[in-house]
Amino acid sequence: MTVIPLIPIFYKFNKMFFENSLISNQQPIVNLRWSDNRLKTTAGIYKRKKVGGIISSEIILSKPILENLPLNEIQSTLCHEMIHAWVDRILKINEIHGPNFQRKMIEINSLQNNFQISIKHNYPVIRNELKYKGQCINCGEVFMYRKRVKNLACKKCCVHFFNGVWNKKCLIKFE
Ligand SMILES: [Zn+2]
Ligand SMILES: [Zn+2]
How far is the centre of ligand 1, averaged over its atoms, from the C-alpha of 104 (Å)? 12
How far is the centre of ligand 1, averaged over its atoms, from the C-alpha of 58 (Å)? 13
pLDDT at position 121 is 62
In a domain, 34, yes or no: yes
| Rounded mean pLDDT, 76-92 | 95
In a domain, 165, yes or no: yes
In a domain, 118, yes or no: no
Q: Which domain holds residue 144?
A: 132-174
Domain co-membership, 85 together with 139: no
Contact predicate 66/41, CB 8 Å: no
How far is the centre of ligand 1, averaged over its atoms, from the C-alpha of 130 (Å)? 27
Domain co-membership, 103 together with 140: no
Tell me, what amino acid is at 67? E
In a domain, 2, yes or no: no
Residue-wise pLDDT tens digits, 126-159: 555 677 888 999 888 888 787 889 999 998 888 8
For every residue of 13-65, DSSP letters joined together read: HHHHHSTTTTEETTEESSEEEE--TT--S-SEEEEEEEETTEEEEEEEE-HHH
Residue-wise pLDDT tens digits, 101-134: 999 999 999 999 999 998 876 555 555 567 788 8
pLDDT at position 20 is 97
Domain co-membership, 32 together with 98: yes
d(CA 18, CA 118): 17
- Split into its structural domains, the chain has a count of 2
Q: Is the pTM of this model over 0.75?
A: no
pLDDT at position 13 is 98
In a domain, 124, yes or no: no
Domain co-membership, 26 together with 58: yes
Domain co-membership, 11 together with 95: yes
How far is the centre of ligand 2, averaged over its atoms, from the C-alpha of 174 (Å)? 13
Domain co-membership, 47 together with 86: yes
Domain co-membership, 27 together with 91: yes
d(CA 170, CA 147): 18
How far is the centre of ligand 2, averaged over its atoms, from the C-alpha of 135 (Å)? 8
Band (1; pLDDT cuts 50, 70, 90) = low
Domain boundary among 80, 111, 142: 111
